[in-house]
Amino acid sequence: MPDSVHTMTGTAPCTSGRPSVLVARRVFPQTLERLRQHFEVEANTTDEVWSPAELARRLQGKDGVLTTGSERISAELLAACPQLSIVANMAVGFNNFDVPALTAHRVLGTNTPDVLTETTADFGFALLLATARRMAESERFLRAGLWNRWSVDMFAGTEVHGSTLGILGMGRIGQGIARRGHHGFGMRVIYHNRSRLDAATEAACGATLVSKTELLEQADHLVLVLPYTAQNHHAIGGAELSLMKPTATLINIARGGIVDDAALAQALQAGRIAAAGLDVFEGEPRVHPDLLSVPNVVLTPHIASATLATRQAMANLAADNLIAWLTEGRALTPVNPEVLPLVVPPAALSAATAAASRPAALPPLPPSHAG
C-alpha cells in the first residue's frame, strides 16, 4: 500500500452513539480502560509503527487519536480524516504535528507538559555526568576485558562541580537542569533563550542570560533543551561547534534536528569538542552511522522521560485531553489555542443533537370545567 494519503477505505463507523478514538501506539492497560469508559476505542496493541496511509485508514470515523512522536500529523492526513476533532500527543514536544494544518482543519492538538519536567531534567543531568566522566567509554573498555592495570590518566574526564553550565532553551526542563547544576554541583549557570526569565526565576536557578555566542564560548557543558522548530533546525552545526571549548561537552535532550549530527560526528572525530551525550537524533530511530563509530559519545534511545511513573502520567494526561474535549468541550493543554474560537466542541454538538431529537413538549391541557 503506498505511503501517501489519498482516498481511503475507512474502518467501520461507530454506531454506539459514543465518540470513537484511536490509540496509535501501545500504552498502559489502565489508560485504555479509562478511555473505554467514555469511548469506542481501537488500540494498537501490537505496537506497530503505521505508515501514513495505514494511520489515515484507521482514523476513518474517529473523533480523536492518542499519538506519540512516531505519528506524523500532516495536512494531507488531516484532509483525509474529516471527522477528526482532537489529536492528543503523549509527549511535551509536538514537532510531529503540522500545527498550522491542525488549525486550518479545525482540529485541536494537545501535548503533555509539566508531568515529565523533573524526570527529564534528572536524565539530562545524568547524561551530562556520564558524558563528562566518560562512563560509557570506560564500561565498554571493561566489558571487552581490556582493563589489566591502573593508569594515571585512564578515562580522565572533565570536572562537573564548579564548572560552567550552559543551557540553550530555558523552559521548565532547562530551569530544572539549572537548579541541579547550581544548587547540587556549585556550577556557574549561563543561558540563552528567546526571552529573559524574570528576576526571581533567574535567582532560583542561579542563572545569567548571555548571547548565544557567549554561551558557546564559555560553557564547559552545554545542554540543549529548546523545542524543535524550522528556525531551530541545526541550531548547533559546524560553525557553532567551532566556537566551543575543545574541553567542552554537548548534551542534547531536546529534539533531533536541532543538532547537525553529521557535523557533530566530525567535530568529535577531530577533537574539536571533548564529548557529547545524545538522547535524540535526526531521523530517529535511525542514527547517523558516524556517531556509532566515535568513542567519545554517549548514546541513548530517546528515554529522557522514561520512568514508569512519568510515562503513566504522560499517558493519563493525553487521555485526560481526549476525555475533556470530546465529552466536556474543554481544552486542557492545547498547542494551538487559536483554534478554540473557530470550533464547536464535539460535546456541545452532541448535546445540541440530543436536544433536537427530543419530542416537542405537549401543550398544556385546557382548564377543567367540571359542573
> Which residues are tagged catalytic?
255, 284, 302
* C-alpha torsion sign, points 135, 141, 144, 150: negative
**Could you check whether the bond before residue 285 is cis, i.e. omega within 30 degrees of 0?**
yes
Q: In the chain, where do the E strands start and end? A: 20-23, 40-43, 64-67, 86-89, 108-110, 164-168, 188-192, 207-209, 221-224, 249-252, 275-278, 297-299
CA–CA separation, 87 vs 109, rounded Å?
5
Pull the grid cell for residue 225: 533543551
Proportion of the chain in helix, strand, coil states, percent, rounded to 5:
35, 15, 50
- Give CB contacts under 8 A, 24+ apart, made by 233-239: 233/257, 233/258, 234/258, 234/259, 234/260, 234/263, 235/168, 235/259, 236/168, 236/260, 236/264, 237/263, 238/263, 238/266, 238/267
Q: 201 — phi, psi (to 5°)?
A: -70, -40
Distance from C-alpha of 244 to C-alpha of 222, rounded to nearest angstrom: 9
Neighbouring residues of 255: CB distance < 8 A, sequence distance ≥ 6: 93, 95, 227, 228, 280
